[in-house]
Amino acid sequence: MIREATPADVPAIHAMIRELAAYERSLDQARATEEQLRDALFREHPAVFALVAEDDGGEPVGFALWFPNFSTWTGTHGVHLEDLYVRPAARGGGHGRALLAELARICGERGYERFQWWVLNWNEPAIGFYRSLGAEPMDEWRIFRLSGEPLRALAAGSTPR
């Protein structure tokens, strides 16, 4: 079953974010707290949303965390999937596909024309899964990120060291 996350899901979602970070070899970078997650998801006007996949016993076994984006080319919003995770013991049970299908349904319901996400180039199981759904890689695009000192330097009008 796929459903919208509730505040009671925050500990499970937080734990799965940490599991995902460990799988992606970046656990030391996963600094978000349960409190930050709860605030982001459940404030009066949230800018980020989550879906939860449950097993037959009602236990959370996966989640999708997403937020709307906007395309100046199509003139419409879209969905950016920040994280998709299904616990290893539940993989192959259709939970990942169901989470993505629900996000695709949200796109259709809201008139969103794009649904996009990033995947690490070494994550062949995920890449194969996404291709099986008809998703296409955007190989000509590169992701850039400013954080830490370079972000602070740019904000201050200087160049980083």
What residues does each domain of the chain span?
2-117
For residue 74, give the DSSP letter. T
Question: 100-131 burial string, b = 16+ CB within 10 Å, else e?
Answer: bebbeebbeeeebeebebebeeeeeeeeebbe
Rounded to whole angstroms, how far apart are CA atoms 60 and 79?
22
Note the pLDDT of residue 158. 83
What pairing do the DSSP bridges indicate for beta strands 60-71 and 76-86?
Answer: antiparallel
Reported as a single tens digit per residue, the pLDDT across 43-70 is 999 999 999 999 999 999 999 999 999 9
Cα angle for residues 21, 86, 49 (degrees, 5° grid): 80
| Domain 2-117 classification at class level | alpha beta
Query: Which residues of the chain, if any, have pLDDT below 50?
Result: none
Note the pLDDT of residue 35. 98
Tally DSSP H helices, then E strands, for the chain. Answer: 5, 5
Task: Give the largest CA-CA distance in the chain.
Answer: 55
Note the pLDDT of residue 110. 97
Note the pLDDT of residue 132. 94
Cite the active site residues.
130
Note the pLDDT of residue 159. 75
Note the pLDDT of residue 56. 94
What predicted TM-score, i.e. pTM, was given to this entire model?
A: 0.92
Note the pLDDT of residue 27. 95
Cα angle for residues 73, 74, 76 (degrees, 5° grid): 125
